[in-house]
Amino acid sequence: MRTIYSIIAALLLICFVINGPAEAQGESAVPFLLISPNSRASGMGEFGTGIADDAAAIHWNPAGLAFQMGQEISITHTNWLPQFGMSDLFYDYINYRNHFSSLNGTFAAAITYLNLGEHTRTSSLGPEPIGTFRSYEFAVTAGYATKIMENLGFGVNLRVIHSALSPIGTEQEEGSGVGTTVAGDIGVLYKTSFLNMPLSLGANLQNLGPKITYIDAAQADPIPTNLRVGFALKVLESEANTFTIGADFSRILVRRYEAPAGGETPQPDPFYKAIFTAWGDQGLKKVVMSGGLEYWYTDLIALRAGYFHEERVAGGRKFLTFGAGLRYDIYGFDFSYIATLEEDHPLSDTLRFTLLLLW
């Protein structure tokens, strides 16, 4: 029997070339790990490394958890690529954090799930369907953060990643399109001031881990190791009004090599080597820039806007984002909207919705 890998490939191309850092589609597997998971950051142009002051810090910068008290749980849902009208293509994210004074730190956990829909399976004898299968990917993350100094936080994550693109291989393959691997993150966050305004500076090295194997070890693919650095500056803070601006700069640290004429394709560098060698591939041209702003009125209503920019050499995604949030007692609601700068772009009109509880 054989599966229709062309369908899966098309879906992955649409979902990941457009929605993950663009080089990830050809250079790494499981780029769903890089999708902006929460509505708040998504409404601010997808920046969060420097601000990292809610439970979603486990994604943007786990070190931000070190400065958070109490507990929080949030759930985010988005219909992925709504322009295609596929109801079974969606992304869900749930996270939780809890501060433990006795352990001098904050623990957090998150589940990321991307449903790629149902596909038809055929045999090599003809195009007639002989069954169906579902494709999906998920990751489970646990993190811990603590203060090294009063204004310096340090955080780490451990992640299990499972990718089930197809449960059945082709007639010539012994394996299947299912793989599992592990990864880790390391983050730091430093709080200071600039012109008497609160300033935070952050860095996060994401998805440090071995390759993921689907068919056999010789065809293993690297996961999307990613470096993020960012800042958040609170330019206004009063009893009734708070205004914050910030930006992230990120780069995929995966290095593949072209095959020599008539030769076999070289293996990609392992992650511990690629964090250095990846810079030799177009250098800073592959840096993705994202920034935005957030305004709060009496900690009750928030308005957000941002801009995401990726050079054409790295895929060329450019879009505006908008968002809003509400807080009442322990309850919260956020949403975000993407307005692309290209007509009929698959990301156009993407909405994210987040419900949260804080106590």
Distance between CA 27 and CA 254 in Å, rounded?
A: 6
Burial of 344 (0-12, 13-18, 19+ CB in 10 A): exposed
CA dist 21 to 116, 199, 270, 310, Å? 19, 27, 19, 8
- Does residue 256 sit in helix, strand or coil? coil
Confidence at residue 317, expressed as pLDDT on a 0 to 100 scale: 82
CB atoms within 10 A of CB 75: 16
Place of tokens 């996270």: 95
- Give residues with Cβ within 8 angstroms of 257, minimum separation 6: 265, 266, 268
- Does residue 225 sit in helix, strand or coil? coil
Confidence at residue 168, expressed as pLDDT on a 0 to 100 scale: 66
* b (16+ CB within 10 A) / e for 14-49: bbbbbbbbbbbbebbbbbbbbbbbbbbbbbbbbbbb
Question: Model pTM?
Answer: 0.88
DSSP 8-state secondary structure symbol assigned to residue 180? E
Confidence at residue 148, expressed as pLDDT on a 0 to 100 scale: 96
For residue 18, the surrounding DSSP H or E stretch is helix 18-19
In this structure, which CATH number among 2.40.30.10, 3.30.1330.30, 2.70.70.10, 2.40.160.40 belongs to the domain 2-358? 2.40.160.40
pLDDT values of the chain reduced to their tens digit, one per residue, 359 residues = 334 444 444 444 444 444 444 444 457 899 899 999 999 999 999 999 999 999 999 999 999 999 999 999 999 999 887 766 666 789 999 999 999 999 999 999 999 999 987 766 666 666 666 666 688 999 999 999 999 999 999 999 999 999 988 776 555 555 567 899 999 999 999 999 999 999 999 999 999 999 998 877 777 899 999 999 999 999 999 999 999 999 999 999 999 888 777 677 788 999 999 999 999 988 888 999 999 999 999 999 999 999 999 875 545 788 999 999 999 999 999 999 999 877 767 777 889 999 999 99
Torsion, Cα 68 330 237 152, to 10 degrees, reads: 0
Confidence at residue 15, expressed as pLDDT on a 0 to 100 scale: 45
